[in-house]
Amino acid sequence: MSVRTFDLPDLGEGLTEGEVISWDVAVGDTVAVDQIIAVVETAKAQVDLPCPFAGTVTTLHAQAGEVVDVGKPLISVEVAGTSSADTALVEDATERSTATQERMDEERAGSGNVLIGYGTSEAKRGRRRRVGRRPSSSAPAGAPAAEMALTLSEDDATPEPSAPSPVSTEGTSAADASTRGGRDEPGSRPGEAVRVISPLVRRLAREYGLDLFSVTPTAPGGIITRRDVEAARAARDDSGAGSSGESRRAAESVTSVASDATGPSAGGTTPTTATTGLRDERVPLTGIRRTIADRLSRSRSEIPDATTWVDVDATGLRSLKDDLAATVPDARIGYLALLARIVVAGLARFPELNASVDTEAGEIVRKGVVNLSLAAQGPRGLVVPVVHGASAMSTEQLSAAIRDVTGRARAGTLSPAEMTGGTFTLNNYGVYGVDGSTPIINHPEAGMLGVGRIVDKPWVVDGALAVRPVTQLSLSFDHRVCDGGVAGGFLRYVADCVERPGALLAGL
């Protein structure tokens, strides 16, 4: 009998740490080779971690919610004997951890080639996440917070409706739990914080009088989405529980005010006032939120960025989209795909923006291919999927690739490789009903184009006032790679193509 310790391996792309989301085993359990023992979340993805050997679990070296460095002990297992297969697996995991130590040191020094919201930071973090206590049924979990996320829709800049998934309600019984094999959803175990990313989801749950612990998550990783909350409310209303609709709404209002005024709740909050609904609160900066903060801070501190913008008449772009929908409807080429095609063509004319800066070598590195990044909102927060080789694709191929990566970004199923290697970012914040922004550059790229909503506005056409669909284009660029003349030329070219898409033909 001997005790083997499995160290957290490198989970890809030189990541240096991972957060234990949940354990699938406990001390005393018997495990087999390749059995999933834990769910670990990195800055890029959630990973089911298999055990490399068989035996009895003796020690869990981290609790759920704790951040573990790559190469540090994760689990210890007592094995009866050491087979050649077990030995090979252990040696392989050990060699991977050793081989990545140098890359870990480089990442901690801030030298990684990473995307906004991803990668590693300079400081070593070993603190544990503060885990909230499960609230009572009369005090819904969560609190309002201000957050602006950038979301993409691959077609007409409008979110696609989806049918709600089945959810559990406040009346969930023990029999319901037994149908899941006695295993709770991640994040719903006693002592663990409910897994909600969006403040909007928490606010809606509070307004509806729903206990988030009673809502069954449908997104990967046990994350509760707005769709889950809406479906839970609909299921509760359809069940006929309670009195009339007016009485129910009044009860929900009373519940919301009461929960706000009943003293501190999870996350170190203080009582709220019934008149404002505001509360003093400290929210741990952990997981994806922390890595996003690190990358945005790095971009702001390292890149001397500047922003320029222009309003454009999108009548020509709208007409082109309608023509394509009539002639090749199966291609489903929407505004986003057309804008992506225009951006790729613009980067071919102004390659200075398809670049990055190597500060160590003191060089500007221009890229020979356009890997187009797309800011999108996923269940874990802001993600930036990449369409690799966009410059070699037809418009139809580009449209299909965008639908694929943005769809999987919203589902939370992107791999780390699909979120790295971008050379320029296209950001469509018009889906939020806003006109303009000053985008933060997606480090280490050199530029980001933001697109606002398309809305009818007064516009002068041939000396006469008319009503036209207008959008605003905003370009943030790294002033180290080019001057304002290049940036202005790129933005003007994109604007001209939006107004007169036929200009694209000149480059073919």
Report, as residue numbers or ranges, the catalytic residues.
Answer: 479
Please tell me the distance from the alpha carbon of residue 147 to that of residue 138, in angstroms, as a whole number: 26
Residues in the chain: 508
What tokens does 360 get? Answer: 């160590």
Please tell me the distance from the alpha carbon of residue 185 to that of residue 206, in angstroms, as a whole number: 21
389, 371 Cβ separation under 8 angstroms: yes
90: closest CA among 103, 100, 76? 76
Cis peptide bond upstream of 444, omega within 30? yes
Put the strands of the sheet holding 17-23 in their side by side order.
46-50, 36-41, 17-23, 67-69
Q: Is 169 helix (H, G, I), strand (E, B) or coil?
A: coil
Please tell me the distance from the alpha carbon of residue 189 to that of residue 180, in angstroms, as a whole number: 13
At 464, the amino acid letter reads A
Return the HEC string of 264-304.
Answer: CCCCCCCCCCCCCCCCCCCCCCCHHHHHHHHHHHHHHHHCC
Q: How far, CA to CA in Å, does 341 sit from each of 307, 320, 397?
A: 22, 13, 10
What tokens does 504 get? Answer: 């694209």
Helix (H) / strand (E) element for 343: namely helix 335-349
222, 197 Cβ separation under 8 angstroms: no
CA angle 433, 219, 205 (to 5 degrees): 65
Task: Say which residue the tokens 């960025």 belong to.
Answer: 305
b/e 229-239 (16+ beta carbons within 10 angstroms → b): bbbbbebbeee
Evaluated on CA atoms 142, 148, 149, 155, the torsion sign reads positive
